[in-house]
Amino acid sequence: MIGKERETPLIVLKLEALLRRIPTNHPQRLKIEESLRRYQAGYWGEQSLDYHFNFLKDDDYIFFHGLRLPWINKLFFQIDSLLLTSTCIILLEIKNMVGTIYFDIPFQQMIRTLDGKETSFPCPIVQSNRHVVQLTEWLRKNRFPNIPILNYVVFSNSSVILKTDPIHKHVFEKVLTAANLPNKLNAVRPSYPNIILNKHKIDQLNNQFIQQHVSQDPDVIEKYGLEKSELLTGITCSKCNKLTIIRKNRNWLCPICKSTFTDSHIQLLIDYLLLISPTITNKQFRYFSNLESPSITTKLFQGMNFQSTGTYKNRQYQLSLDQIQHHL
């Protein structure tokens, strides 16, 4: 059962929008492209684990993907995948990496060797153990029973090579490949036979997870040191990827490839929401789209049934990603 679906991270959607809206020669473009590749790889690695979940024997798992919960002092902790059962909770820290990975336990680091180059990363076992502490505290504050919490680091790429010093036996217990995850969980579950959470408590916990989840919503304009005035205006042609679309005969026309569309403004609204603001006015839309007609803009908004506030001249429309995407 899925308690929380795996969703494309907002940071991925925002970086994709940002790359559509900055010049190809922008000094920050290569850095943004590299960041996008990294976040996409992480998301694809998490997605690839879904196949292996099909081999779990028990059918009482409830899966929560990308759960981000409040902790202390306005801080949050995020768990790649949480598996809720009546007898225990399982936390998975998922890594999508290639090369040779060596766990350097004395220095609490992970060293990757790829193409002859060594790169150091924070030890994911430490991060995973921290999530156990944070979730334990969260459960206590929300008055849930003390339940065993198991945690593992899972490498999703089948070509990765994992190494460590043989004396560090806990690494062999905590670190898994994706293919071995079902075997591990099927073997360890019988060690936790006692029911800690009855159906009522599981339903309560399920609801609290969903209610308290807060998606990470970074400001990528600020993150990469940009100004909103640097963003390119215009509507993107979905075929030639040029910001050249114009309005003609109740449709959108690309004068370069001669393609016509009915919904090209929808991608612009998505970009505006992701990069600028969750509210937009008629004037702001016209500036961002290079459309001159206030009446056409009003008709486009009315066709999407946006909620709005204010009078005619200063009316603001409320943008919702789900509502906009519904029109794609």
Three-class secondary structure of residue 254 per DSSP: coil
The residues facing 69 across adjacent strands are 77
Residue 244 has pLDDT above 90, yes or no: no
Per-residue pLDDT reduced to its tens digit, 100-126:
999 999 999 999 999 999 999 999 999
pLDDT band at 328, cuts 50/70/90?
low
Give the tokens for residue 257.
Answer: 């490839």
pLDDT band at 36 (very low <50, low <70, confident <90, very high): very high
Tens of pLDDT, residue by residue over 264-308, are 999 999 999 999 999 999 999 999 999 999 999 999 888 888 889
Q: What is the pLDDT of residue 121?
A: 95
What percent of the chain clears pLDDT 70, i.e. is strictly above it?
A: 99
Q: What is the pLDDT of residue 314?
A: 82
End-to-end CA distance of the chain: 28
**CA-CA distance, 117 to 123, in Å (whole number)?**
18
The interaxial angle of helices 29-53 and 10-20, nearest 10 deg, is 140
Question: Span 39-43, mean pLDDT?
Answer: 94
Contact status, residue 106 vs residue 43, Cβ threshold 8 Å: no
Q: How far apart are CA 111 and CA 103, in angstroms?
A: 6
CA distance linking residue 297 with residue 281, whole number of Å: 9
Would you list the DSSP string of 41-97? HHHHHHHHHHHHHTT-S-S--EEEEEEEEE-STT-EEEEEEEEE-SS-EEEEEEE--
Q: Is the pLDDT of residue 322 over 90?
A: no
